[in-house]
Structure formats: structure tokens, C-alpha cells
Amino acid sequence: NSAFRCGLCLSGCSRHYSQVCNKIIFLMSFVGNCGTFTRGYRAMVLDVEFLYHLLYLLICAMGLFVHEFFYSLLLFDLVYREETLLNVIKSVTRNGRSIILTAVLALILVYLFSIVGYLFFKDDFILEVDRLPNETALPEAGESLASEFLYSDVCRVETGENCSSPAPKEELVLAEETEQDKEHTCETLLMCIVTVLSHGLRSGGGVGDVLRKPSKEEPLFAARVIYDLLFFFMVIIIVLNLIFGVIIDTFADLRSEKQKKEEILKTTCFICGLERDKFDNKTVTFEEHIKEEHNMWHYLCFIVLVKVKDSTEYTGPESYVAEMIKERNLDWFPRMRAMSLVSSDSEGEQNELRNLQEKLESTMKLVTNLSGQLSELKDQMTEQRKQKQRLGLLGHPPHVHVNPQQPA
């Protein structure tokens, strides 16, 4: 059994050593791929991902050489990997300044209420406490004999029978156990602040839930009611809900941003930025466009090819893209255009030109027919006019009209 346990311990240690070695190798490869050390110490310190992996390595080493407890901290890696859990952390850190200022306001109010409680309601700060049990609870032998001697008595003198009455010590111990200890927690201003901060904020109704319940006949009964209500409304309802509201609103904004990003990735091409509706009624669908024409992994492979390929073997397009990559310029990406849309647009223009040409030809035929009909109508009208002139000459000969008033 001992040999088996030793083997298990050795296998566990070897597994832990292998995990640390794997993390060291991963960190070295990460630094080499990102070029962290070549960018200077300032960039290395500001690189959050590098610092995270370095802290991960330190925790692994501490778990291996210091204590196994540090291995439990590695569970936070799930928060780093899952975006939803990371948004929970960001909901507190994004608006951290507002939360801190609201918390400062809460501390100021707690300090003011502590001063008022210390000055006027010091005797009301009586809290129930559970003291630690005494380790030396067993009575000594002399003590038990003395108690038996003291509490033994003759119960019946007439009959001569002796009976030892039960020692009342057990009853006293039970009474002490059932009675809960209480102590004053506002003897100093510091203790008042600690009590109001600890019990007041954690109680649902404020600090009034943990203080002594006053009688209505006391002179400060009304002041105590006002004190409890003001603490409840100002600290519990207003200030704490302000902090919770900021956190909830920030988380809702982060969730909406995440949904918007997912919607953009689903309905927009990552390379050209064209939306899904641009490919409606086209020869190429949006899914075919993002998988075949503008596949982002093809572009990534092309960038890797340009980086690893010898510059003397570049083609013309590869030289152009390599220069753009060095300048961090993305003009070589086909922004808001695609070959499939260009070809479909050209085909559409040709179809429109063909339709217009057909319409023009039909219009020319109609114009020709109308011109022929107009010429025929003109000839007919000319012929009718000539016939009317002939009929007029034959039926009514012309007369010479002489004006009698005109001198000869």
C-alpha cells in the first residue's frame, strides 16, 4: 500500500511538473508569435494577454512549490475564456468610477449615522453574540466532592432515611447555555462605525433590525424611529440600489453590444462589409459569397503566405499586398464591392439595353406606319380638294361685278 501511495504521489508530481512545463512552452511561443520583447518593455507591460499568461504560470508554480490551494485559482481561467462571464466582470469595472463614488457616498452616510448613534443611542447597540466554548469544561475531583458535600442534605429526619438532593450545578449550566450572551458594540466611535457598516448594510431593514427594540414610553422613541427610517431609506433603498442599478445597466449594455456584434457577423460580410440584402435576387447567395468568394480564412492564409514567403519571389499582387501590410493599410481589401455583384450588374445592364433597343425598334415601326398613313391621308385630302374645285368651276361660271359708284 505504501509503495502504491508513493507511486501515486510521484505520478501526481510528474503531472504537475509537466503542466508547468507546458505552460512555459506556451508562454515562450506566445511571446515569439506576438513579438512582445521586440516591441519594448512598455508594450510588454501594457500587453494584458501576456501579463495574464505570466500570472497563470506564477500560480502554477506556487501551487507546485508552495501549496495546493493555488491550483484552485486556475478556475478563473473559465471567466477569461467565456465572454458572458467576462461581461459580468466588465459590468463592475467599466463604470468603476461611478460605483466607487457611490460607495464613498454610502461610507459618508454610514459615518454620519454612526456619530448620531454614538451620541444618542449608545445603549441601544446591544447585539447577541455566540462565545467560543471553554475547553476546560470538565470539573476537578475536589470540586465535585465539595458540591456533593454542600448540596447533600437529610430529606426525612423522622424516618432516618437520607437522600442526596441532585446538585443544582447542572441546572445552572443548562440555564447558562440557553441564555444568549449580549454585549455593547458602541462603546467607542470606531466600534459604532464597524457595527453600522457590518450589520446595517447586511440587514434587509437597515441598522434598526439589529439594535435593541425600544419601548414607546422612552423619551427617545420618536428619535429612534426617525433614525431607523432615515437609514433604511437613504442607505438601503437609495444608495445601494444606485450601485446595483449601475451594475445592471452596464451588464445590459454589454449584452446588447454582444448581440449586435453577433448580428453583424451573421448578416455582414467580414471582408467587404456588404450586407445580406445586397445579394437578394442575385445569382450568388450571401452564404456562397462568404464561403467561396470572400472567405476570411482564405485571406488570412494569403497574409501568412505573404509574410513567410521570400520577398524576391513575390508576384505583382503579392508585392502590393506585402507593402500594404507593412503600412497597416487595408485599402487592398474589396470594400463594399464583389465580383459576383459586378457581373450580375453588368448582365442586368445588358438586359436593360436589349429591352430598350427592342422598344426603340417597335417605336420606329409605329412611327413609320403613322408616317405612311399620314401621307395617304394627305393625298386623299388633296384629291378631294381638286374634285371640289372642278365641280365649282362647272356649276357656277364666274361673273364680273362692277361697282356703280366707281367712275368709268
Residues 104-130 have pLDDT tens digits of 999 999 999 999 999 998 888 888 877
Q: Which helix (H) or strand (E) covers residue 303, if one does?
A: helix 296-308
Confidence of residue 58 (pLDDT cuts 50, 70, 90): confident
Burial profile 121-140: b = 16 or more Cβ within 10 angstroms, e = fewer: beebbeeeeeeeeeeeeeee
Query: What is the residue-averaged pLDDT of the chain?
Result: 77
Q: From 92, 108, 99, select the one nearest 234 (Cα to Cα).
A: 108
CA contacts within 13 A on the Cβ side of 279: 22
Task: Give residue-wise pLDDT tens across range 125-148.
Answer: 888 877 777 654 444 444 444 444
Q: How confident is the model at residue 41 (pLDDT cuts 50, 70, 90)?
A: low
Cell of 139: 470539573
What pLDDT score was predicted for residue 349?
62
pTM of the model: 0.57
- Give the C-alpha separation, 74 to 23, whole Å: 12
> What does the DSSP assignment read for 91-134?
HHHTTHHHHHHHHHHHHHHHHHHHHHHHHH-GGG-EEEE-PPPP
How many CB atoms lie under 10 A from the CB of residue 279? 21
| Torsion angle, alpha carbons of 217, 218, 223, 224, to 10 | -100
Q: 155: which residues sit within 8 A by CB, 6+ positions away?
A: 161, 162, 163, 165
Is residue 275's pLDDT more than 90?
no
Element (H, E) at 162: strand 161-163
